[in-house]
């Protein structure tokens, strides 16, 4: 990082880093961030949304092509009604407020999850957001909203079952590739790296099918505080990972 007087300037030099083409981020820890500051949980969600804008900018500039962020899970409906309402409102606000900045950064927005089951105003935001950003070239921001990995696999199986019922496919001809092709966004590559801040060591139903060979990177920092330095550290650590996919490491396979 270049130091200018006391001011630290962000650089997007990828020298000793490896930047994934497809990155997943579980934006967790908003509630704890707020509680630590004696604020209502809603303040944490607001700070978390602000931080998403920052993550988009940093990932775009680093050269990530697909950034999938977990914003609301199929299990998050079990939270108190007031919190769920607030999260829905924030979702709408985020795209109203920040779309000009996303546009400036060349970021296309897409959504993944059980979108059809969401209230109409949310579905409208998704439709408009996708439509107006579809030609932006730099990076795709994929927002997982009302998303559950199991529900996504289920929905893929249901689509395939329809084809079996119509006599187009034999059950014995179903392949892994077919399941991948019937997921919500089949053109989005599986994430090479998944980052989870806030200290939890679990996947919480995020990208279950897609994460088969993802590298995991966790930190204790709560999501609203997860910034450029930590993202850079994650990419630096990722550069050192030996991805074997069940085979041997590069060094061993040369022996
Ligand atoms: C993540 O923060 C946001 C959502 C799950 C919607 P949390 O609200 O889960 O924050 P913690 O885990 O309670 O701190
Ligand atoms: C995962 O966080 C979901 C999102 C960040 C949207 P949770 O806070 O819902 O996960 P658990 O309950 O700790 O597993
Ligand atoms: Mg949480």
Residue 200 alpha carbon, nearest atom of ligand 2:
13
pLDDT (tens digit per residue) in 171-184: 999 999 999 999 99
Return the residue whose CA atom lies nearest to atom 14 of ligand 2: 204
27 lines ligand 1 (CB under 6 A): yes
pLDDT (tens digit per residue) in 128-157: 999 999 999 999 999 999 999 999 999 999
pLDDT at 2 (0 to 100): 44
Percent of the chain scoring above 90 in pLDDT: 91
Q: State yes or no: pLDDT of 203 exceeds 50.
A: yes
Q: Ligand 1 centroid vs 183 CA: distance in angstroms?
A: 25
In a domain, 244, yes or no: no
Domain count, the chain: 1
pLDDT (tens digit per residue) in 100-129: 999 999 999 999 999 999 999 999 999 999
71 lines ligand 2 (CB under 6 A): yes
73 lines ligand 2 (CB under 6 A): yes
Return the residue whose CA atom lies nearest to atom 8 of ligand 1: 31
- Domain span at residue 135? 16-148+189-237
Q: State yes or no: pLDDT of 8 exceeds 80.
A: no
In a domain, 1, yes or no: no
In a domain, 251, yes or no: no
SS3 sequence of the chain: CCEECCEECCCCCCCCCCCCCEEEEECCCHHHHHHHCCCCHHHHHHHHHHHHHHHHHHHHHHCCCEEEEEEEECCHHHCCHHHHHHHHHHHHHHHHHHHHHHHHCCEEEEEECCHHHCCHHHHHHHHHHHHHHCCCCCEEEEEEEEECHHHHHHHHHHHHHHHHHCCCCCHHHCCHHHHHHCCCCCCCCCCCEEEECCCCCCCCCCCCCCCCCCEEEECCCCHHHCCHHHHHHHHHHHHHCCCCCCCCCHHHHHC
- Concerning whether 76 is annotated as a catalytic residue, the answer is yes
**Residues with beta carbon < 5 A to ion ligand 3?**
28
CATH number at residue 200: 3.40.1180.10
pLDDT at 52 (0 to 100): 98
Q: State yes or no: pLDDT of 197 exceeds 60.
A: yes
146 lines ligand 1 (CB under 6 A): no
In a domain, 178, yes or no: no
In a domain, 153, yes or no: no
200 lines ligand 2 (CB under 6 A): yes
In a domain, 252, yes or no: no
Q: Ligand 1 centroid vs 188 CA: distance in angstroms?
A: 25
Q: State yes or no: pLDDT of 4 exceeds 60.
A: no
Ligand nearest to the CA of 205: 2
Q: State yes or no: pLDDT of 253 exceeds 90.
A: no
In a domain, 225, yes or no: yes
In a domain, 44, yes or no: yes
197 lines ligand 1 (CB under 6 A): no
């Amino acid at each position: 990082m270049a130091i200018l007087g006391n001011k630290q300037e962000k650089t997007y030099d990828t020298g000793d880093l490896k930047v994934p083409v497809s990155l997943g981020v579980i934006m967790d820890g908003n509630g704890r961030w707020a509680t630590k500051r004696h604020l209502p949980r809603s303040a944490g969600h607001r700070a978390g949304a602000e931080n998403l804008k920052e993550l988009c900018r940093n990932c775009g500039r680093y050269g990530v092509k697909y950034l999938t962020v977990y914003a609301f899970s199929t299990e998050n409906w079990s939270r108190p009604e007031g919190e769920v309402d607030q999260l829905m409102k924030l979702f709408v606000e985020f795209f109203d407020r920040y779309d000009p900045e996303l546009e400036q950064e060349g970021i296309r927005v897409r959504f993944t999850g059980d979108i059809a089951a969401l209230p109409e105003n949310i579905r409208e935001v998704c439709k408009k957001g996708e439509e107006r950003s579809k030609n932006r070239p730099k990076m795709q921001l994929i927002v997982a909203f009302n998303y559950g990995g199991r529900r996504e696999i289920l929905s893929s199986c249901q689509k395939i079952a329809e084809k079996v019922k119509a006599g187009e496919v034999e059950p014995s001809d179903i392949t892994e590739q077919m399941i991948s092709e019937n997921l919500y966004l089949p053109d989005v590559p599986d994430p090479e790296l998944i980052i989870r801040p806030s200290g939890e060591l679990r996947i919480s139903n995020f990208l279950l099918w897609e994460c088969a060979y993802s590298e995991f990177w966790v930190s204790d920092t709560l999501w609203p505080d997860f910034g450029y330095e930590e993202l850079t550290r994650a990419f630096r650590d990722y550069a050192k990972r030996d991805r074997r996919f069940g085979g041997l490491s590069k060094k061993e396979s040369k022996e």
